Amino acid sequence: MNVSAAESGPLAFDPERALPAAAYREPEWLAAEKDRIWHRDWVFATTEDALETPGDQVPVMIGDQPVLLLRNQARELVALSNLCAHRGTLLVEQPANAKRIQCPYHAWTYDEDGRLVGVPFAPSGAVDRSAHRLPSYRVESWHGLVFVSLEQGVEPLARRFTLIERHVSAAGIDALQHQSDLQLSETWACNWKVAIINAMESYHLFKVHPETLEPYTPTKDAYYVAGSARATATGGTFKGQDDYLLVSLPPSFVGVLTRNSFVWQAVRPVNAGRCAIRTGGAFESYRRAGPFGQIANWLTRAAAAAYPQADFLQEDKAICERVQRGVTGDFLPGSLVPIERVVRDFGDSLTWRLNDVEPPRARD
């Protein structure tokens, strides 16, 4: 890493240290992140089981852009703008199944490729339909996880996740069933980077989760597997079970993979001080037994009605919001310790995307 290059950019920081307070509060940071990361890079959108049947439509947000994901009649994934080309109306607000996309305002109608096929009350030739096609975006799936990029030239997911692929496959992710109906969403009062960094590192477990996680996944037993600015895999012991694998996919996704569960958290910025948090999981069966029984049971019960979230998630929310309350002031960012190696990878990812600094070679 050419640290001097990273330190000389407009959003300068040393990846070997914690991020500066400005990174969590200043509008210029968020504006650059949305432009160079959220609107140009791969962002987690949903899981494939939400789009199982031809005609399934799922609205998602990629940065600030409303996007409509759909499964076409050829069973391919398609990502289109979710804004009508007429006057910008949001086309689909809830998951649906249809062969056409029709605007609720003036009934302009599009096919599954985004072509304008119907304009009520318009004389023949009055509207150039070819000029009103919905923009399309890159969409790819990786082990049942669907990612979207607004940038057509982004590298393929297969290349993005090459370094950790064998570890994820060996851990048995493809034997698990994603369950989109159990996904939960809420808003945390912290910058998106506070939340995603907290999700990817195991350094805080002994202090923030002394009763909920530390007895089962001790901080001292966490270890680094392989990583780079593109993706990182870390691991740790799980009391009475096989080791877990923690998968970090910048900018938006972190998942904990065990023999019979994959529990994940996805993050999206709302503004400099708030982010949207989505939690979900995949399990070996709908019985939801296994080493993450507490999480699985929480997901099951939370699908019904207002059920308090698992203690450890509330603990994460509380500490992340406490961090955000502190960044109104300034501090000299401290050095990252070896157990935070994944945070260094994330810092490399930020400098790569924000300051055009070529990331260092992969580490394993």
With tokens 């609720």, the residue in question is 104
Q: How far is CA 130 from CA 80, 87, 92, 117, 135, in A?
A: 15, 16, 21, 9, 11
What is 319-343 written as a DSSP string?
HHHHHHHHTTS---PPBPPGGGHHH
Whether residue 23 is found in the same domain as residue 48 = no
- This prediction has a pTM of 0.91
* Cα gap 220→354, rounded to integer Å: 33
Whether residue 214 is found in the same domain as residue 269 = yes
E strands within the chain? Answer: 43-47, 56-62, 65-71, 77-81, 96-97, 101-102, 109-110, 116-118, 136-142, 145-149, 177-178, 184-188, 223-227, 232-238, 241-249, 253-258, 261-271, 274-283
Whether residue 15 is found in the same domain as residue 78 = no
Q: What is the pLDDT of residue 175?
A: 95
Whether residue 96 is found in the same domain as residue 200 = no
Q: What is the pLDDT of residue 286?
A: 57
Whether residue 92 is found in the same domain as residue 180 = no
Whether residue 343 is found in the same domain as residue 213 = yes
The CATH number of whichever domain residue 231 belongs to comes to: 3.90.380.10
Look at residue 36 and tell me if it is in a domain: yes
Q: What is the pLDDT of residue 299?
A: 45
Whether residue 338 is found in the same domain as residue 324 = yes
What is 152-207 written as a DSSP string?
TTPPPHHHHTHHHHHHHHHTTGGGSEE-GGG-EEEEESS-HHHHHHHHH--TTHHH
- The domain in which residue 57 lies consists of 43-142
Last residue of a domain, one of 80, 112, 142: 142
Q: What is the pLDDT of residue 170?
A: 97
Whether residue 308 is found in the same domain as residue 258 = yes
Whether residue 274 is found in the same domain as residue 305 = yes
58, 50 Cβ separation under 8 angstroms: yes
Distance linking the first and last C-alpha atoms of the chain? 16
Residue ranges in the chain whose pLDDT is less than 70: 1-10, 286-310, 363-364
Q: What is the pLDDT of residue 284?
A: 85
Last residue of a domain, one of 112, 142, 172: 142
Look at residue 263 and tell me if it is in a domain: yes
The CATH number of whichever domain residue 134 belongs to comes to: 2.102.10.10
For the chain, how big is the Rg over CA atoms in Å?
21
Tally of domains within the chain:
2
Look at residue 364 and tell me if it is in a domain: no
Look at residue 19 and tell me if it is in a domain: yes
Last residue of a domain, one of 142, 173, 189: 142
Of 60, 178, 91, 144, whose CA–CA distance to 69 is shortest?
Answer: 60
Look at residue 156 and tell me if it is in a domain: no
Q: What is the pLDDT of residue 364?
A: 62
Whether residue 194 is found in the same domain as residue 305 = yes
Greatest Cα pair distance in the chain:
72
Tallying the residues shown for the chain, one arrives at 364
Q: What is the pLDDT of residue 359?
A: 84
Look at residue 195 and tell me if it is in a domain: yes
Whether residue 250 is found in the same domain as residue 126 = no
Look at residue 158 and tell me if it is in a domain: no
Q: What is the pLDDT of residue 5?
A: 40
Tell me the pLDDT tens digit for each residue of 316-361: 999 999 999 999 999 999 999 999 999 999 999 999 999 988 888 7
Look at residue 169 and tell me if it is in a domain: yes
* Cα gap 217→236, rounded to integer Å: 7
Whether residue 272 is found in the same domain as residue 124 = no
